[in-house]
């Protein structure tokens, strides 16, 4: 009888231990987020006018930032570090306010990441519109083992014009609206502004991501036949998990 009771006690303890372990596994938090430092690679600060247009900036996104501190903002559940923006394009586009030429770099390369990641979260948009599906840029992911992956930036899929003109579209198929706001230049045109978050599932989560490039797409430089400027996509922040 003593041996039988000892067996029952041991079996109950094992069952309790198993249930506790399963419960802890179910409650285990997701992988922590990390933010990529873009500060040494930005083409514009959040407070600097873009496209030679006064008041065309992202100061409202930064909000009441603490002096000498890098702003951070949680959007759609993801924490982003706001260093400024990286804007690329076909070499030249035009200003919407004056029509004058605006030089834009074609690529920004070797931006360090230095993490393994299951997912990357891109906070981005573009200046000017394009046909749905048009490739206006790309992110090139470089792994520590020398391999790489390309993530396209396509109009109507990953991004839209950040000025929310009705004719520039309202739906994206591979992203979600992460932020809506305004800037002085857009308010003068009675339109709001927006940024999009694209979530990319990394096909090689066990390999460290060494760095990435942001490059222009297939769009022509300067103005298009309809009189608008050539699309110039920009990255505001990048986080990973």
Mean pLDDT of the chain: 87
Instruction: Give the span between the Cα atoms of 161 and 231, in whole angstroms.
Output: 8
Summarize the chain as % helix, strand, coil (round to 5). 15, 40, 45
Q: Rounded to 5 degrees, what are φ and ψ at 64?
A: -85, 75
pLDDT band at 16 (very low <50, low <70, confident <90, very high): very low
Question: Which pair of tokens denotes residue 37?
Answer: 């430092």
pLDDT for residue 218: 87
pLDDT for residue 179: 97
Enumerate residues 6+ apart whose C-beta is below 8 A from 203: 149
Which residue intervals of 96-136 are DSSP H helices? none
**Interstrand relation of 232-240 and 209-216 (parallel, antiparallel or unpaired):** unpaired
pLDDT score of 15 more than 50: no
**Residue with the larger pLDDT of the pair 23 and 49:** 49
pLDDT band at 221 (very low <50, low <70, confident <90, very high): confident
pLDDT for residue 238: 98
Enumerate residues 6+ apart whose C-beta is below 8 A from 7: none
pLDDT score of 1 more than 80: no
Which stretches of 131-182 are assigned E, i.e. beta strand? 135-143, 148-154, 176-181
pLDDT score of 49 more than 90: yes
pLDDT score of 21 more than 60: no
Q: Cα 101–230–199 angle (5° rounding)?
A: 130
Domain residue limits, the chain: 1-30, 31-240
Cβ contact 156:172 at 8 Å: yes
Cβ contact 106:90 at 8 Å: yes
Lowest mean pLDDT segment, chosen from 16-30, 47-61, 133-147, 170-184: 16-30
The mean pLDDT of 21-35, rounded to a whole number, is 56
Lowest mean pLDDT segment, chosen from 61-65, 74-78, 163-167: 61-65
pLDDT score of 150 more than 80: yes
């Amino acid at each position: 009888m003593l041996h039988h009771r000892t067996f029952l006690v041991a079996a109950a303890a094992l069952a309790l231990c198993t249930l506790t372990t399963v419960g802890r596994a179910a409650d285990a938090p997701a992988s922590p987020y990390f933010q990529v430092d873009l500060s040494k690679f930005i083409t514009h600060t959040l407070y600097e006018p873009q496209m030679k247009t006064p008041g065309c900036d992202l100061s409202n996104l930064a909000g009441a930032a603490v002096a000498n501190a890098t702003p951070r903002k949680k959007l759609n559940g993801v924490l982003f570090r706001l260093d400024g923006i990286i804007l690329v394009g076909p070499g030249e586009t035009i200003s919407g306010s004056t029509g004058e030429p605006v030089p834009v770099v074609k690529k920004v390369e070797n931006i360090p990441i230095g993490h393994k990641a299951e997912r990357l979260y891109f906070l981005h948009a573009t200046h000017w519109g394009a046909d749905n599906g048009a490739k206006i840029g790309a992110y090139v992911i470089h792994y520590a083992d020398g391999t790489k992956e390309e993530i396209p930036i396509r109009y109507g899929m990953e991004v839209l014009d950040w000025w929310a003109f009705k004719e520039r579209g309202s739906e994206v198929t591979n992203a979600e609206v992460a932020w809506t706001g305004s800037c002085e230049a857009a308010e003068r045109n009675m339109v709001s502004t927006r940024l999009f978050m694209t979530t990319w599932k990394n096909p090689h989560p066990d390999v460290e991501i060494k760095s990435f490039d942001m490059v222009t797409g297939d769009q022509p430089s300067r103005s298009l036949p309809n009189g608008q400027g050539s699309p110039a996509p920009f990255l505001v922040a990048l986080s990973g998990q």
